[in-house]
């Protein structure tokens, strides 16, 4: 089970369909700051996979305003290796949104 790393919540409006959900900056440099996620449902699952389909990190995000941020730490407090990843956002209504995320350390 993943332990959520530091999470920050900011303003906006929650989305229940996740159609407008996205993350930025992309490419993401964890040592320069947080990854921001926008267009989220109030409770959204965030999962990060490598290109082989292996789960790298998973957490539940509380985003009552539709926005949240992730400090880039995965289990054990490390950052993921540099590369291209797939992220999947999901909510309690069964909606999902997937995208690519480049991470550079």
Contact 69/40 with Cβ under 8 angstroms? no
Measured CA to CA, the distance from residue 82 to residue 23 in angstroms comes to 17
The predicted pLDDT at position 14 comes to 65
Segment 71-99 shows an average pLDDT of 95
Alpha-carbon torsion, ordered 90, 26, 86, 22, to 10 deg: 20
The predicted pLDDT at position 13 comes to 56
Mind listing the domains of the chain with CATH numbers?
Answer: 7-100 (2.60.40)
Digit-coded pLDDT (tens) for 57-78: 999 999 999 999 999 999 888 9
**Cβ partners under 8 Å of residue 33, min gap 6:** none
Encoded tokens for 8: 């920050």
């Amino acid at each position: 089970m993943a332990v959520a790393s530091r999470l920050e919540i900011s303003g906006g409006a929650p989305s229940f369909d996740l159609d407008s959900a996205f993350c930025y900056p992309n490419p993401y440099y964890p040592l320069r700051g947080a990854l921001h996620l926008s267009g989220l449902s109030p409770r959204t699952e965030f999962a990060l996979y490598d290109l082989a389909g292996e789960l790298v990190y998973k957490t539940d995000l509380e985003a009552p305003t539709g926005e949240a941020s992730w400090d880039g730490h995965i289990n054990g407090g490390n950052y993921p290796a540099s590369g291209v990843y797939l992220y999947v956002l999901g909510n309690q209504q069964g909606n999902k949104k997937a995208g690519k995320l480049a991470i550079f350390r």
